[in-house]
Amino acid sequence: MILQEIERKPYEPPEDTVKHCYVLLALQRFAGFFGLADLEQITEGPINRKYRIHATGLLKWTPL
């Protein structure tokens, strides 16, 4: 399991490390870069950031 492979940090549990990696890689650098989602940071500062995420028209898919 991924949580067992993460290097332990004294200031952050492994679950938070995985969450931060997911937000950075999947949401900011993929979905945000390709215009699939709009991310709005709702907290200030670099620690414990929280985001509001909205799907764009590119992500909303309707079957033919």
Quote the pLDDT of residue 52.
92
Quote the pLDDT of residue 8.
86
What tens digit of pLDDT does each residue of 6-49 get?
Answer: 888 888 888 888 888 888 899 889 998 998 999 898 988 877 78
Q: What angle do CA 5, 46, 53 make, to 5 degrees?
A: 80
Question: Does the structure show a pLDDT above 80 at 55?
Answer: yes
Distance CA(7)–CA(14), nearest Å, equals 8
3-class secondary structure, 29: helix
In angstroms, what CA-CA distances link 57 with 28, 31, 33, 49? 17, 12, 14, 25
